[in-house]
Each structure stands twice: as C-alpha cells, then as structure tokens.
Amino acid sequence: MLTVTTNANAADTSLVIPKGKKRTLKERLPIGRFRLGVQIAFSLLCVWIGIEFMLFVAGLAPDAAGPMVRRPPGVEGFLPISALMSLQYYLLTGTIHPFHPAGLFILLAIILVSLVAGKAFCSWMCPVGLISETVGDLGQRLFGRPLHLPRWLDWPLRSLKYLLLGFFAHAIFVVMGATALKQFLDTPYNLMADVKMYHFFADASQTTIIVLAVLIVLSFVFNRFWCRYLCPYGALLGIVGILSPNKITRDPISCIDCGRCATACPSRIPVDRRKTVVSDECTSCLTCVASCPVRGALELKTVGRKQAISPRRIAIAIVATFMIVTGTAMVTGYWDNNVPVDHYRQLYPMIESMGHPTSTQELDELNRP
C-alpha cells in the first residue's frame, strides 16, 4: 500500500492508494500536453489567418501597392452571430447564404465537436480560451492559489452569458423569418462584417481599450472570467455539450476521496461528489483526470461503457471532427464566398459609415442597388 498526503479541503488527510493503482507522473503529464498541443496548433492557425486577413484588408485601400492577398475564409469563424443567422436561414430555406459560407461550416464543426467531446472547443481549440487560461494561470501563481467570486455573486454572473445567448437566439430563431434573415444577410454591412471587426480592433477606441484591459485584469484575478461569465458562444456549447455521451466518470470504489479533482477543476465543479460529471460548465479539459493520483478512479468515458478514452484519442477525435466538417465545405465549394475583390474595393471606402441595420426600412435601403 502507498500513503499520500493531500491538502484538499484545506485539511491534511492521510490517504491510502492500493498497491499498483498509483497513477505515475509519466501517465499524468501527457493528458495536459495533448490538450496544449491542440490549443497551440489552432491558435497558430488563427494567427496565420489573422495575418493573411490583415494583408487582404491593406490591399483594399485605394492607394494600396503590390498584389492583392487572397481573403482567408477562416476569418469567418470570428463572426458567430452571422453564422447563427446563416444556420437559421439554411434550416428555413435549405439554402446556404453565399456571403459567409465558411462561418456556417465552422459553427457546425464546433457544435459537432461539442456533441463528440462536450464543451471541448473552449478548452482545446478556442484561442480566446487559451489566452484567458494563460492569464488566469499567471494570476494563480502570483496569488499562490486560485481566487473565486463568492457563490452568491458567482451564480447570477454566470447567467449573463445565457442572457446574451437568449437575446441573440430569440432575435434570430423567433423574431426573424426567412425574408428578414435574407434581407440582413444580403446587406453590405454583413458582407463587410469581418472587415469592420478588423477595424474595430486595429483602430480600437479608448473605450474599447479600457474594456479589454478590464477583462484581462479580471481574468488575471479570477481565472477564465470572460469564459465563465460573459461568452455567449460558450453558453451555447455548454448546452450542446450536455448531450455528448462522453463524460468525466468517477469510480466510487477506486476513488480515495482526496478531493484533488475538485480542487484542480478550473470550472469549480465538485467532481469528487459526482459519479458522472454532467455540467454545462465542464469543458472536458481533463485537468481533474490529470490531478487524480489513482489509476482508473477518474476517466473520460462513453456513458455505459467501461473502457476509458485516452487523451490521444480525444485529441484525434476533436481535430478530425473539425477537419472533416470544414474539409467537406472545401470539397463541395462552400468554403470561399466567391465575392469579387472589386466589390470589396467598392465598399471599402464606406466602411466607417456602415452601421448595424435596426429596421426593415434600413434593410431595404441597404439592399437597394
């Protein structure tokens, strides 16, 4: 028998691990490494897309010199609201809107990833999630422990992301019909939404800089502040992720009740008190699994099956799911929007005057030749 000492629940408790059941460091390290590898790969992909798009926008200027850089369709992954509208338009009409088709397929890929591996996009693929996690980890090292908001404040704040999601969902899936959706999707505002987004950050106002700085500071103090309280995308994937058959599962027989899993969980889920983790906050990051000192006590499993899913297999499943869906868009011709560059150049000088249409009359005026 092996004896370990832990500080779980702020108390020293001597716990016994059955002989041959101790999970070695060699077994635990790859769990985080696989996730970090996928995070870095997708973040580098986003950086590459960002550089390409920056060069594309620079080439739209009237005084631009040199050859025009091809617009990277992957930038549409940063237009989730437009993608949601395209999804609803497709469900109502069976037609894929031509302006941002890649955004629709990226959204479908992320939703499918959530069905396969829970809310894994947030902890395995999202570049904002990686930044938030890194900043939070730095703050935790500075303070010596993770800092959390009290539960009486945590619960109402967590509802904010669902209120934001509900607002967009109601507007898109309830208020707007096929005609209204097409009117909006056809607007120059929607076509140039990615360019406007670039200018929003490239030419950030003082207010924008202050808001971003506040969010970074809050994420430094309270780990993953944006993800936990404000991200409507995360709220959507959390709901979808509950439907995934693959869950973190605890074996009560093997578990030694050390509480390390609950202490390690960045989403503050009481993993040590659940047999199967069913939570909209679980991101399948496997941090709790990596912290568990007992082999087989805590694993990611398909509900109803005994065999655990290895970190390598879940990493392959996440990447493969995403690539299959986006690859399908490329093969079928629904990746590029095929909008002529001259049309972008024609609209570019008016980019600053393009406001979000708020009425049917404005939509009609924007769509008028």
| pLDDT per position as a tens digit, 34-55 | 899 999 999 999 999 999 999 9
> What's the average model confidence in pLDDT over 308-314?
89
Higher pLDDT, 72 or 7: 72
Residues 6+ away with beta carbon under 8 Å from 114: 120, 121, 237, 240, 241, 244
* CA proximity to 115, closest of 237, 244, 235: 244
What is the Cα–Cα distance from 369 to 364, expressed in whole angstroms?
A: 10
104 within 8 A of 86, measured Cβ to Cβ: yes
pLDDT at residue 363 in the model: 53
Tokens of 296: 């087989």
Give whole-number Cα distances, 205 to 61, 230, 317, in Å. Answer: 21, 21, 41
Band of the pLDDT at 148, cuts 50, 70, 90? confident
Give whole-number Cα distances, 98 to 162, 181, 278, in Å. Answer: 29, 13, 38
pTM to 2 decimal places: 0.89
Average model confidence (pLDDT) across the chain: 88
CA 212, 214, 123, 279 torsion: positive or negative? negative
What is the Cα–Cα distance from 221 to 137, expressed in whole angstroms?
A: 9
319 within 8 A of 38, measured Cβ to Cβ: yes
Alpha-carbon 7 to chain mean position? 32
> What's the average model confidence in pLDDT over 157-169?
95
User: Strand pairing of 246-250 and 298-302?
Assistant: antiparallel
Q: 223-245, pLDDT tens digit by residue?
A: 889 999 999 999 999 999 999 99
Percent of the chain with pLDDT over 70: 90
Read off the amino acid at residue 7: N
User: Strand pairing of 13-17 and 2-6?
Assistant: antiparallel
209 within 8 A of 111, measured Cβ to Cβ: no
> What's the average model confidence in pLDDT over 205-212?
92
